[in-house]
Amino acid sequence: MDLVRQTLLRTLIPAAILVAIAILVMRYGQPYQIRVGYVFFINLTMVVGLQIFMGNSGTASFGHAAFSGIAAYTVAILMTPLMLKRTLIPDAPFNLDQVVLGPIPSIILALLVTGVVAYVVGLAISRLKGVGAEIGTLAFLVIVHVVFTNWIELFRGPRAFYGIPIISNLWWGLGASIIAVFVAKLFRDSKYGVQLRASSDNMLAAKAMGVPVDRLRLIAWTLSGIVVGAGGVLLATNLGTIAPTSFYFNQTFLMMAMLLLGGMRSVSGAVCGTIVIALGSEITRTLESGPVLLGIDFPEMFGLTGFFLGAVIVLVMAFRREGILAGEEFEDIWDDMTRRLRRDKAPAAALDER
Amino acid sequence: MLSLSDVSVNYGVIQAVRGVSLNVEEGEIVALLGPNGAGKTSLVSSVVGIVPVSGGRVTFKGEDITRVPVEGIVARGLTLTPEGRRVFAGLSVAENLRLGAATRKDPVATERDLNTYLDMFPILKERYHQTASTLSGGEQQMLAIARALMSAPTMLMLDEPSLGLAPRIVDRIFELMLEMKKSGLTMLVVEQNASEALAFSDRAYVLASGSVVYEGAAKDLAASDQLMEAYLGTGVA
Amino acid sequence: MEYVIQQAINALSVGGEYALLALGLAIVFSIMNLVNFAHGELITLGGYAMFFAAATFVGNPVLLLPICVLTAVVAAMLFERIAFRPVRNAPATTGLLTAFGVSIVIQNALVIFVATRPKPVPVPSWMQGTMSFGGFNLPVVQILETGATVCAVAGLVLLLTRTNLGLAMRAAAKDFTVVRLMGIQANRVILGAFAVSGFLAGLAAVFILARRGAVDPLMGFTPVLKAFVACVLGGFGSLLGAAAGGLVLGILEVVLQATLPSDVAGFRDAIVFLLVGAALIWRPTGLLGTRAELGDKE
């Protein structure tokens, strides 16, 4: 309970930042900015979810976009009105074309399904180590994508699944991201998180000390899958339309660039990276459409956003491997700063220390 | 020939070598002694460029090599047989030796050296086509030395050449080192086996906690039980 | 009978293609612990080089083939020089993510400067025909690809056992520090490894393009994914494992292709990966892997 209370306190700074962003967007934003703000919160939820696995286990995952897809499609299939479903997926297996649920049970079921899939896949992934596990996550992404695009009776194949009731708004996104941050911090500071982080620094030593590394990786993987799934739920219930490509490569490297730029070792890093990339990709998106700036007519350049995201990853890896925050949390930085300020005010005390 | 002035080596916040100054003259065998963890391996590794020197200066034949990368130092004629031998276990004896000479441009002299060392270490001739992993520890140590010699160094540093070997083999390796000295090779030998090493060295340095605590002629150190006891704790051994 | 022979040569050629790609990945990985996610982009760049050469100054499609291979070699060496050198001694995950970034950069640069749509690549017409071989009609591409794979693997073995560079590469895979203590330049060994991996990728690219007849920015992903899986299946870092893994994967694919009912044929890749996953649960270090920690050097 103590840990929960502490974590709640430690969530205050990021929560305050997020609330400020939400209020700013809702107060002054046009519909376009509100949309961008919502997408920001969706991505934030997913990136923080991804941080739970990558940050604690030190293993890269290319597969998490699949979890957002699984959750999004589950919500879509459960929630879409029967009338529409008869045209969209008339031959759905398990009589799913005749079932419709309310928002809350749909969302809970979606997260549950995602969790179960994550657990089962995690049984395999957590057995593999290092590079093998990372390639395993990539194979998982491809498998899920192949299933989405080929199981036409259930997922409509490569075509879009539309008509999902639009029930969520920016406040949902804000709420989900704050919960995600809380969960990620709770896990990071829990016994499990501490042990898992220790094991990612030195696997053999941790194993020798009796840390059940495989089980901790499985727990982190499953939990992080569910949180990323929550992002998928937000996506489906806000856009109303989803397609397999929404949960494939572009989403994977967007999340990856966000997490790595901020620094995958801390939850604050995930938040920080998502904010920077969200702002940056708005700029590149403007450039992509070929605007007229300072009297110069720029040509259309599709692919510019992707180009920059890739470049961000390469540059961060080369010059600041631990990301902007280098694994620090906002609170740590805050504590450091206040401590330094106090020391500046009392130079005599500092001298005594020496 | 080799001269270190005020050399330090850091691993993060840990200082493994603190301001060591040391000289090796041409044709000498110098022993570098000291207990486990004294910083001996760190020191020779930094001289040859495997770990970065954090402070001070290393000169070899009058040239500053403090920031020169490993390959460049070896090309200048200074090399190291690392601790634990580290022969390429999956490669044959022949291939190990060939790698030692990989950067040489004079095939005739290389061939001549190869024959010289195969005569010097007959066991390697015998096992020429076997994989190095099939050699015993002593044989691997000989291979490691021969491999280092194949790059035609003018100075060789040996890190614990006697580690884990039977006394008879240790004697043989020390004999070989005297032979190499006769052919003009300068050597710096890191050893824990102090009394043995002093028997064939000209001078000695004793390192403790990263600093030089004694330097002098090898026979003075070996002759004084008090010194041996004080610095190496092996007065009787 | 003819059907069986046709499927067999098909399996060999597909397996050979995966083996070429997997070998290139494994050589680089064994030496510097880097999983080159951008390996597939070597294929793509080779293809674009063919497209541009054909559109500008090369009339004879046969001449396009060496251009493709050469481009892949040069691109691989440039990747090393520009992107991978700064992360050379970093943990494997850092290298993998860097390569992932490189791959995205190349793909999107091609989208920006060329186009998303596929571009045609002319291939010598004789490569697309069939030839009679012992009374059976077999596609020329598949026979050539099988033959080229055998030659490339033989050449690789010669390189690794007969040349100083090859010896240094094998030694560097075990203990890079001592290789440098032999006075051998680390940069040269690593650049050599990338050149070899680029050559193998370029060779595979020739055949991939001969089959597709077109190039697009994302075409490298699927082949490299297969090569990853082949490497993991064979045991990451082992060259023999990479070749064997590629061959097994190719055979598995062709067998599934031939036996799966048509309504589940679209799931073929998913099924292949699931089977490989099952094999790895049974043997987490891969078929030929022996290391305690997969993917970590001792």
% of chain A at pLDDT higher than 70: 95
* Cβ neighbours, 10 Å, residue C117: 9
* Cβ neighbours, 10 Å, residue C7: 15
Three-class SS state of B132: helix
Residue A351: predicted pLDDT: 45
State the Cα–Cα distance between residues C15 and C11, nearest whole angstrom. 6
CA distance C273 to chain A (A): 7
Residue B234: predicted pLDDT: 55
Contact A132 C236 (CB under 8 A): yes
Residue with tokens 């075409």: C219
Residue B235: predicted pLDDT: 43
State the Cα–Cα distance between residues C93 and A200, nearest whole angstrom. 12
CA distance A24 to chain C (A): 33
Closest CA to C187 of A316, B140, B124, B69: B69
Better-predicted residue by pLDDT, A81 or B152: B152
Q: Is the pLDDT of residue C255 over 60?
A: yes
Residue B236: predicted pLDDT: 41
Contact C182 B102 (CB under 8 A): yes
Contact C180 B148 (CB under 8 A): no
Contact A131 C86 (CB under 8 A): no
Residue C192: predicted pLDDT: 94
Nearest to A138 among C108, C225, C270 (CB): C225
Contact A135 C103 (CB under 8 A): no
CA atoms within 13 A of residue C24's CA, in its CB half-sphere: 35
Average pLDDT score over residue span B127-153:
91
CA distance A196 to chain C (A): 16
The answer to whether C57 touches A284, Cβ cutoff 8 Å, is no
Average pLDDT score over residue span C127-152:
84
The answer to whether B124 touches C203, Cβ cutoff 8 Å, is no
Contact C116 A306 (CB under 8 A): no
A138 part of contact set with chain C, CB < 8 Å: yes
Closest CA to A320 of A261, A247, A248: A261
CA distance C158 to chain B (A): 14
Q: Which residues of C touch B99 (CB under 8 A)?
A: 164, 167-168, 171, 179, 182, 184
Residue with tokens 């702002």: A279
Q: Which residues of A touch C296 (CB under 8 A)?
A: 129-130, 203
Q: From the candidates C97, C225, C272, which should be mutated to test the interface with A, based on the most A CB atoms within 10 A?
A: C97
Least confident of A24-38, B108-122, C246-260: A24-38
Nearest to C181 among B70, B95, B98 (CB): B70
Least confident of A292-301, B154-163, B178-187: A292-301
Residue B72: predicted pLDDT: 92
Assigned token pair, C96: 């993998």
Q: Is the pLDDT of residue A353 over 50?
A: no
State the Cα–Cα distance between residues A151 and A144, nearest whole angstrom. 10
Contact B88 C184 (CB under 8 A): no
Assigned token pair, A290: 């070929």
A256 part of contact set with chain C, CB < 8 Å: yes
What ipTM score was computed for the predicted complex, to two decimals? 0.86
Assigned token pair, B95: 């291939």
Q: Is A208 exposed, middle or buried (0-12, 13-18, 19+ CB in 10 A)?
A: exposed
Residue B59: predicted pLDDT: 94
Q: What is the pLDDT of residues B148-157, one digit of tens each?
A: 999 999 999 9
State the Cα–Cα distance between residues A184 and A53, nearest whole angstrom. 9
% of chain B at pLDDT higher than 90: 54
Q: What is the pLDDT of residues C50-87, one digit of tens each?
A: 999 988 887 788 888 899 999 999 999 999 999 999 88
Q: Which residues, other chains included, contact A309 with Cβ-Cβ below 8 Å and sequence gap of 6+?
A: A253, A254, A257, A277, A281, C104
Least confident of A137-151, A316-330, B56-70, B81-95: A316-330
Contact C108 A307 (CB under 8 A): yes
B95 part of contact set with chain C, CB < 8 Å: yes
The answer to whether B69 touches B62, Cβ cutoff 8 Å, is no
State the Cα–Cα distance between residues C253 and C273, nearest whole angstrom. 10
Q: Which residues of B touch C184 (CB under 8 A)?
A: 71, 99, 102-103
Write out residues 168-227 of B within 8 Å (CB-CB) of C.
none
Contacting subunits of A (3+ beta carbon pairs below 8 A): C
State the Cα–Cα distance between residues B36 and C22, nearest whole angstrom. 44
Q: Which residues, other chains included, contact A291 with Cβ-Cβ below 8 Å and sequence gap of 6+?
A: A298
The answer to whether C84 touches A293, Cβ cutoff 8 Å, is no
% of chain A at pLDDT higher than 90: 26
Closest CA to A136 of A62, A220, A54, A218: A62
Averaged pLDDT score across all residues of chain C: 87
Residue C130: predicted pLDDT: 81
Q: Is the pLDDT of residue B64 over 60?
A: yes
Contact B74 C180 (CB under 8 A): yes
The answer to whether A132 touches C284, Cβ cutoff 8 Å, is yes
For every residue of chain A, which 3-state class applies, written as one string?
CHHHHHHHHHHHHHHHHHHHHHHHHHHHCCHHHHHHHHHHHHHHHHHHHHHHHHHHHCCCCCCHHHHHHHHHHHHHHHHCCHHHHHHHCCCCHHHHHHCCCCHHHHHHHHHHHHHHHHHHHHHHHCCCCHHHHHHHHHHHHHHHHHHHHHCHHHHCCCCCECCCCCCCCHHHHHHHHHHHHHHHHHHHHCHHHHHHHHHHHCHHHHHHCCCCHHHHHHHHHHHHHHHHHHHHHHHHHHHCCECHHHHCHHHHHHHHHHHHHHCCCCHHHHHHHHHHHHHHHHHHHHHHCCCEECCEECCCCCCHHHHHHHHHHHHHHHHCCCCCCCCCCHHHHHHHHHHHHHHHHCHHHHHHHC
CA distance C83 to chain B (A): 21
C179 part of contact set with chain B, CB < 8 Å: yes
State the Cα–Cα distance between residues B75 and B80, nearest whole angstrom. 12
Averaged pLDDT score across all residues of chain B: 89
Write out residues 82-121 of A within 8 Å (CB-CB) of C.
none
CA distances from A70 to A233, A235, B37 (A): 9, 12, 55
Residue A344: predicted pLDDT: 67
CA-nearest residue to C227 within chain A is: A135
Q: Report how far Cα A192 is from the mean position of its chain's Cα atoms.
A: 20
State the Cα–Cα distance between residues A148 and A70, nearest whole angstrom. 9
Residue with tokens 């290393």: B58
Q: Is the pLDDT of residue B33 over 80?
A: yes
The secondary structure element, H or E, covering residue B207 is strand B203-208
Nearest to A313 among C100, C281, C284 (CB): C100
Amino acid symbol at A207: K
Contact C183 B82 (CB under 8 A): no
% of chain C at pLDDT higher than 90: 41
Which domains does chain B carry? 2-90+153-231 (3.40.50.300)
Write out residues 23-62 of A within 8 Å (CB-CB) of C.
58-60, 62
Closest CA to C40 of C201, C208, C233, C214: C201
Assigned token pair, B37: 């963890």
C290 part of contact set with chain B, CB < 8 Å: no
State the Cα–Cα distance between residues C27 and C200, nearest whole angstrom. 11
State the Cα–Cα distance between residues B138 and B166, nearest whole angstrom. 8
CA distances from A260 to A44, A51, A55, C115 (A): 13, 9, 10, 29
Q: Which of A128-132, A289-293, B187-191 has the highest mean predicted lDDT (pLDDT)?
A: B187-191
CA distance A140 to chain C (A): 8
For every residue of C152-218, which 3-state class applies, written as one string?
HHHHHHHHHHHCHHHHHHHHHHHCHHHHHHCCCCHHHHHHHHHHHHHHHHHHHHHHHHHHHCEECCC
Better-predicted residue by pLDDT, A27 or A208: A27
Q: Residue C290: pLDDT band by 50, 70, 90 thresholds?
A: low
B48 part of contact set with chain C, CB < 8 Å: yes
Q: Is the pLDDT of residue C46 over 50?
A: yes
Q: Which residues of C touch B103 (CB under 8 A)?
A: 182-184
State the Cα–Cα distance between residues C156 and C179, nearest whole angstrom. 20
Q: Is the pLDDT of residue A200 over 90?
A: no
Q: Is the pLDDT of residue A354 over 70?
A: no
State the Cα–Cα distance between residues A169 and A41, nearest whole angstrom. 10
Q: What is the pLDDT of residues A86-102, one digit of tens each?
A: 777 777 777 777 777 88
Closest CA to C207 of C45, C68, C5, C55: C68
Residue B192: predicted pLDDT: 83
Instruction: Give me the torsion for CA of A207, A211, A213, A214, rounded to 10°.
Output: 110
Closest CA to A251 of A234, A276, A232: A232
CA distance C177 to chain A (A): 22
Average pLDDT score over residue span A52-71:
93
State the Cα–Cα distance between residues A195 and A188, nearest whole angstrom. 9
Average pLDDT score over residue span C25-54:
92
CA-nearest residue to C297 within chain A is: A130
Average pLDDT score over residue span B40-44:
92
Q: Which residues, other chains included, contact A67 with Cβ-Cβ below 8 Å and sequence gap of 6+?
A: A49, A114, A117, A118, A225, A226, A228, A229, A232
Residue B48: predicted pLDDT: 93
CA-nearest residue to B86 within chain C is: C178
Q: Is the pLDDT of residue C24 over 90?
A: yes
Residue B127: predicted pLDDT: 92
B88 part of contact set with chain C, CB < 8 Å: yes
CA-nearest residue to B146 within chain C is: C182
CA-nearest residue to C87 within chain A is: A318
Residue A4: predicted pLDDT: 84
Work out whether strand B155-159 and strand B78-81 pair parallel, antiparallel, or are unpaired. Answer: parallel
Maximum CA extent, chain B: 52
Q: Which residues of B touch C167 (CB under 8 A)?
A: 91, 95, 98-99, 102
State the Cα–Cα distance between residues A284 and C112, nearest whole angstrom. 13
Contact B80 C181 (CB under 8 A): yes
CA distance B93 to chain C (A): 12
CA-nearest residue to B90 within chain C is: C171
CA-nearest residue to B71 within chain C is: C183
Task: Verify B-A touch: 3 or more CB pairs within 8 A.
Answer: no
Nearest to B99 among C167, C177, C186 (CB): C167
Averaged pLDDT score across all residues of chain A: 85
State the Cα–Cα distance between residues C35 and A130, nearest whole angstrom. 11
C270 part of contact set with chain A, CB < 8 Å: yes
Q: What is the pLDDT of residues A229-259, one digit of tens each?
A: 999 999 999 888 898 988 998 899 899 999 9
The answer to whether C108 touches A284, Cβ cutoff 8 Å, is no
State the Cα–Cα distance between residues C183 and B59, nearest whole angstrom. 18
C2 part of contact set with chain A, CB < 8 Å: no
